[in-house]
Amino acid sequence: MVKHDPVAPARAALEAALADTAPVDSPLPTGASGWGMAGDTLTFLARLVPRLRPRHMMEFGGGLSTQLLAGLAAAMPQSVLSSIDHDPEFGGIAYDKLRDEPERMRRVRPQIAPLVARDCGGKMLPQYRIRSQKLASRRPADLIVVDGPPVLLGGREGALYQAMSYARPGSIILLDDAARESEVVALRQWGEIMGDAVEVRQLPGFCKGLAAVIVREPVPREELWPRRLERSAADLREFDFGGARVLVAGENWWREAVAGCIEAFPFTEHDGHYYGPPADGASAIAELERQRASGAAFLIIGAAFSWWLDFYPELREHLRTRAMLENDRLSIFAL
């Protein structure tokens, strides 16, 4: 018996929509510019949705996409849209434009959800405070369009994590403006933590960039921290320390959870044990130089203790030109 692949329909729908160059039958909203979704992205949505035939669609950030997706939902049995926006003024504009079209309006459940800071595996990121009971459906979303929050309010990495709470195996997440540097970074960092739980593709030819993510296995927020620690450990396993003495800044728990794959020593240290944060920047540098004179060749600062580099600016300046690896999980400095 051939095992059913839950992501196969999503792959097929994406490929068919990308290959289709025929004019779109559905009338598209016009005037996409500035904050609005670009016309080529709206056209792609109009080609994708009839092939994917989603029962439940979600969007983070309303606007032209709300009008389009509502019209597409109205053409399919039992298809509905949950439209999420943080801005009470902007979020209501698209819904107001549907008031003269009752069938499309009936398919949309708008929700103004304020942005709040949430821990996403050790990173505080903005997410929408969504009331799940107010969504258009209790079903997982088959299609999630991420077009918010804006960069000025923290960007979209948190929304990518949040989308996984409403996804199922085979859901498609579309990230708009994916050519913008902030979105490139957000997608890369999110994808590194998600690993093989997702398939990430930068779709070619879109003027503002468009990334498609096929969810293989949704990752709830409570699983982000262990995944982040495991990815940090993988960073260390892949780095060549050449058998040299390695220091790990901060409390023992991070060194034991992440750096167990290498022989690592605490920074700071007294009688072989972690001795707490340095008193000040000068003390941090003095301790580092003492341990360097004793043979330490590398210093690791995990994301949980990256605040040291802000709290001790002298230490940050001392290490400024010594970084060998830096990402949002850890930094490795050559001493």
Residue 47, in any domain of the structure: yes
Residue 292, in any domain of the structure: yes
pLDDT one-digit tens code per residue, 128-149:
999 999 999 999 999 999 999 9
Asked if residue 167 has pLDDT above 70, the reply is yes
Which comes out higher in pLDDT, residue 31 or 103? 103
Lowest mean pLDDT among 119-128, 258-267, 298-307, 312-321: 258-267
How far apart CA 247 and CA 118 sit, in angstroms, is: 31
Are 278 and 190 in a shared domain? Answer: no
Among 3, 53, 10, smallest CA distance to 200 is for 10
Length of the chain in terms of residues written: 335
pLDDT one-digit tens code per residue, 52-84:
999 999 999 988 899 899 999 999 989 999 999
* Share above pLDDT 70 across residues of the chain, in percent, rounded to a whole number: 95
Are 161 and 62 in a shared domain? Answer: yes
Query: Which residues 6+ apart lie within 8 Å of 48 measured at CB?
Result: 13, 14, 17, 143, 172
Domain boundary among 194, 219, 244: 219
The whole-number pLDDT of residue 32 equals 46
Domain boundary among 219, 236, 270: 219
Residue 214, in any domain of the structure: yes
**Residue 190: how many other CB atoms lie within 10 Å:** 25
Our count of domains for the chain comes to 2
For 246, the domain range is: 225-334
Residue 1, in any domain of the structure: no
Are 66 and 211 in a shared domain? Answer: yes
Are 123 and 214 in a shared domain? Answer: yes
> Do you find a cis peptide bond into 77, omega within 30 degrees of 0?
no
Residue 2, in any domain of the structure: no
Are 158 and 130 in a shared domain? Answer: yes
Q: What residues does 150 pair with on adjacent strands?
A: none
Are 248 and 100 in a shared domain? Answer: no
The whole-number pLDDT of residue 117 equals 96
CATH classification at residue 93:
3.40.50.150
180 pLDDT band, cuts 50/70/90, is very high
Residue 196, in any domain of the structure: yes
Are 277 and 140 in a shared domain? Answer: no
Domain boundary among 171, 188, 219: 219
The per-residue b/e assignment along 281-314, b for 16 or more CB within 10 angstroms, e otherwise, is beebbebbeebeeeebbbbbbbbbbbebbeebee
Are 89 and 211 in a shared domain? Answer: yes
Q: What is the DSSP letter of 281?
A: H
Are 258 and 111 in a shared domain? Answer: no
Residue 3, in any domain of the structure: no
Asked if residue 254 has pLDDT above 60, the reply is yes
Residue 112, in any domain of the structure: yes
Are 107 and 208 in a shared domain? Answer: yes
How far apart CA 150 and CA 316 sit, in angstroms, is: 30
Are 204 and 91 in a shared domain? Answer: yes
Are 117 and 26 in a shared domain? Answer: yes
